[in-house]
Amino acid sequence: MPGLPSHVRACLFDLDGVLTQTAKVHAAAWKEMFDDYLRRRAAREGTAFVPFDAVDDYDAYVDGRPREDGVRTFLAARGVRLPEGSPNDPPEAETVNGLGNRKNELVLRRISEDGVEPYEGSVRFVHAVREAGLRCAVVSSSANCRDVLVAAGIEDLFDERIDGVVARERQLRGKPAPDTYLEAARELGVQPDEAAVFEDALAGVEAGRAGRFGVVVGVDRVGQAKQLRAHGADVVVRDLAELLESR
């Protein structure tokens, strides 16, 4: 059981930023969409344009949350409230769904142009825990989770997938609520304290803490180890391969 408490029987992995190098793709697409919207809004209202910060705003308000929650949470921090609209809203609609759809177009374009790279250390770690007999699930807020797993060539490594599409169908609350992680543990037939959560997002480690999982491993790709601990990580690594070395 590489680097994990001995009672852990299952591993629950976030996707973007933990398994695949896509957190930065999301952050860039959010910035492009929000900056365009904020610039137009500022020009219309004659106020100063304050750009979206792809590190601080992304971590605090957007990272790890379902798409529409990301739109709402960031805009609320700027004192902006938009109508919800509907999932079919065109990308230029000034609604929560419209802005979310615009951002999704940008993400999909970047992914199709550049492809998706998994983190090599994460792939090695998943192989090792599977060989040790642990069950594995992906738990992601992303509605694009399945396509990203396929593009990265790692979809066969997981027994279960609870993603943005499944969460919507089953009406599960998004991270930082623990619901999607709890659902994954239930699907794998383990108690929360028998499962390890692997997360790079502040909202994600919060979900791990709220669900009382066996261990919450924070994955620090951007130098935020302290914040990950403060929000719920029991341990922080820079790469999952570090856990293999600690055996």
**How buried is 43 (Cβ within 10 angstroms: 0-12 exposed, 13-18 middle, 19+ buried)?**
exposed
Cα–Cα–Cα angle for 19, 231, 152, nearest 5°? 10
All residues at 6 or more sequence positions from 175 whose CB lies less than 8 Å from its CB, including other chains: 64, 65, 66, 141, 181, 201, 203, 204, 206, 207
Q: Does 224 bind ligand BG6 (CB under 6 A)?
A: no
In whole angstroms, what is the distance from residue 163 CA to residue 159 CA? 13
- Judged by CB under 6 A, the stretch of 134-142, 206-214, 215-223, 233-241 that binds ligand BG6 is 134-142
Active site residue 179: no
Numbers of helices and strands, H then E, in the chain: 11, 6
Among 140, 218, 219, 231, contact with ligand BG6 (rule: CB under 6 A): 140
Q: Using CB atoms within 10 A of its CB, is residue 98 exposed (0-12), middle (13-18) or buried (19+)?
A: buried
Least distance (Å) from ligand BG6 to the CB of residue 2? 24
Select which of 16, 69, 89, 179 is catalytic. 16
CB of 121 to ligand BG6, least distance (A): 19
- The label of the residue with tokens 């759809």 reads 101
The reply to whether 101 sits near ligand BG6 by the rule CB under 6 A is no
114 assigned to active site? no
Binding mask 4-43 for ligand BG6 (x = CB under 6 A): -----------xx------x--x-----------------
Catalytic center residues:
14, 16
Residue ranges in contact with ligand BG6 by CB under 6 A:
15-16, 23, 26, 62-64, 66-67, 70, 104, 107, 140-144, 164, 201
